[in-house]
Structure 1
Amino acid sequence: MESAGEAARALFAWGANSYGQLGLGHKEDVLLPQTLKDFSCKHQNIKSITGGGGHSAIITGAGELFVCGQNKEGQLGLNHTDDVLCLTLCPVLSSLCVIQVACGWDFTIILTRNGQVLSCGSNSFGQLGVPQTSGGSLIPLKIESLTEKVVNVAAGLRHALAATEGGMVFQWGTGMASRANRVSHGKMIPAFLTAKEPCKVTGLEDVKVKSVTASSYHSVSLTDDGELYVWGSNKHGQLVSKEAFLLEPQKIDAHFFSDEKIGAVWSGWTHIVAQTGGSCFSWGWNEHGMCGDGTEENVYAPKPITALGSAKPFLIGCGAGHSMVLYQTPG
């Protein structure tokens, strides 16, 4: 979730804290927001906050990466495997300017200002994209095969994505492969679903992608023209298709969004939220009401979140089973 800026002077955290992922210095769950007293925004202009299976990461305006939480697989990039209870600077990246971080279940993908991508943590499914190591890594390793400048990255449960300056999308990590095999019925499975290093996603040759997002078992890309392409598991209707699994990207028709262009998109574990010029749409798994339509029934096509009224959303975040929207009321 991006920070709007310099006015913020305190960082709060709450929820599950089994590994110290809240950065509060202990491992007790927290039911009400608490301030991180040891990490004051007064001195650190926070640009982004994100979380993974049990770890958290923050990027400052200076391009520094601070991490905390679960570190069993080295996903914090600190060259050890001890859990970290307070936000700690990742010193290995001190000479680089980090502009984006994506946290998977037990791994981390890091994008620098010069367009390089690094990764650390578990590599059990090839999700680090670094064939030079068969195991995981305790420090961020550069993904050498991504030779074109990368502008956006995403991390799913056990796979990762990168969008390049030229509009191409690369995927790696085999986390989606088993589901693809079960539903392929003898069809050829695209190489990018079984790749352990970045592999070009086929089916996007005629579009220019500007951003990507990933979930547990599906992927989403947003083009310069404001169109959404999706692929992977459709178990909960999150891909707006009759197919159980989409082996290659498929465009979601614009009429689902009232023919408006999509400005940004976010993905939870099994649901998606998209933002147009003045509306929020959500669809997919809805057991906990994360689609915001007042029910707990799955939503099989993009549906406006009418409860927001005429409010204009400008910042959205999705978790495994929840959604958050920051918006500006009219007037």
Structure 2
Amino acid sequence: MEPEPHSSEAVPTAAALFAWGANSYGQLGLGHKEDVLSAQQLSDFCKSGCIKRITGGGGHSAVVTDEGSLFVCGLNKDGQLGLGHTEEVLYFTPCKSLLGCAIQQVACGWDFTIILTENGQVLSCGSNSFGQLGVPHGPRRCVIPQAIELLREKVVSIAAGLRHALAATASGTVFQWGTGLASSGRRLCPGQTLPLFLTAKEPSTVTGLENSQAVCVLAGSDHSASLTDAGELYVWGSNKHGQLASQAAFLLLPQRIEARCFQNEKIAAVWSGWTHLVAQTVTGKVFTWGRADYGQLGRTVETREGWESEKQDPSLPGSGPQKGTPSCLPCLTGATEV
């Protein structure tokens, strides 16, 4: 006979979705546009326990469910919600044009959205002012998700920055498109030729990663990153806040962050904020580096990384950003999600 449950045993509570923070465009999905200072529960637009991914852009948000449905809300002036119009949406609303198409991942850029289906196809919608939709001869904006035809191989990971995007294919190749990093590259690397992937308005192979196989790509405001199957992390783009763990102000090509920065352990997972990064090693250790003036690194730093460099000419030798050194946060060891 099975023992009777003790009255002191905790009763599992139903999963719920909460939102808070800036809400100027209704991106919290609460039905209004007032900023929210404390967590508020969202109405049941889907079963909370079935939410697989949550992500946000410059003023819009997206949720992917376990069943592969996509819900969106918030700023929509360029059609970044993919709903066929450009009106703001204050509640999480299903993207009807994708009904019946299972979604695996969504990446929200500043004013555009990149969508990955479960069969490995990539779609995009929103602003295309900088070629960030990957459709070089397309319109200035797209209000309905359209396939990026030039990505012919199955894609396994996508990322979106301020005005650029990335994709990693099943074979481990990394593509980038959108000209968002080009102006900074020209300014910070005078006299040097920019690689094609920094100026392309269609998916272009990221050179410098030929001897590695990517399993995941990430993007910040003006930087990119790629995690390989060997547990190595490559970064490129702007290093204004030390987010590339380099002395250079801008990296035109991918550069591997040395293993010693992670106590000689392989990287198992990486997350990117707008100007900082977080990595977790195979043993569960969590490292943070990059911009720190808002406490986004979860630790105290001696200098506000990148601030001193803003007063200097970054194109001069020795005047790049303060070196962002990945530091371990023992309290987060073993974290399951960041």
Regarding TM over 0.5, the answer is yes
Aligned to 1:235: 240
2:35 corresponds to which of 20, 25, 29:
29
Alignment pair present for 1:184 and 2:189: yes
What is the rounded CA distance, in whole Å, between the counterparts of 1:221 and 1:234 in structure 2?
15
| Contact persistence 1:107–1:119 (CA under 8 A) | yes
Q: Which amino acid aligns with 2:25?
A: Y
What is the rounded CA distance, in whole Å, between the counterparts of 1:280 and 1:211 in structure 2?
17
Alignment pair present for 1:315 and 2:315: no
CA gap 1:16/1:207 in 2 versus in 1, 3 angstroms: same
Aligned to 2:8: none
| Contact persistence 1:11–1:41 (CA under 8 A) | no
1:123-142 equivalence runs, <5 A: 123-142=128-147
1:247 corresponds to which of 234, 249, 252:
252
Aligned to 2:324: 300
Aligned to 1:81: 86
Aligned to 1:204: 209
Alignment pair present for 1:106 and 2:133: no
1:20 corresponds to which of 7, 10, 26:
26
What is the rounded CA distance, in whole Å, between the counterparts of 1:37 and 1:292 in structure 2?
31
- Give the alignment's TM-score, normalised by structure 1: 0.90
**Gapped runs of 5+ residues in structure 2?**
1-11, 306-322
Deviation string 1:115-154 (CA, Å, 9 cap, x unpaired) is 0000000001000001241311000010000001000000
1:314 alignment partner, SS class: coil
| Contact persistence 1:11–1:40 (CA under 8 A) | no
Deviation string 1:7-47 (CA, Å, 9 cap, x unpaired) is 752111111111110101111111111111242525x6111
Alignment pair present for 1:159 and 2:168: no
Alignment pair present for 1:282 and 2:304: no
| Contact persistence 1:210–1:223 (CA under 8 A) | yes
CA gap 1:211/1:86 in 2 versus in 1, 3 angstroms: same
What is the rounded CA distance, in whole Å, between the counterparts of 1:7 and 1:257 in structure 2?
37
What is the rounded CA distance, in whole Å, between the counterparts of 2:139 and 2:179 in structure 1?
14
| Contact persistence 1:11–1:39 (CA under 8 A) | no
What is the rounded CA distance, in whole Å, between the counterparts of 1:48 and 1:192 in structure 2?
28
- Paired positions, count: 308
2:267 corresponds to which of 239, 262, 271:
262
Q: Which amino acid aligns with 1:272?
A: L
Aligned to 2:276: 271
**Gapped runs of 5+ residues in structure 1?**
1-5, 317-331
Q: Which amino acid aligns with 1:139?
A: I
Q: Which amino acid aligns with 1:133?
A: G
What is the rounded CA distance, in whole Å, between the counterparts of 2:126 and 2:284 in structure 1?
39
Q: Which amino acid aligns with 1:107?
A: F
Deviation string 1:230-251 (CA, Å, 9 cap, x unpaired) is 0001111111212111000000
- Give the alignment's TM-score, normalised by structure 2: 0.88
Aligned to 1:321: none
Identity of aligned residues (%): 62
1:24-63 equivalence runs, <5 A: 24-41=30-47, 45-63=50-68
1:182 alignment partner, SS class: helix
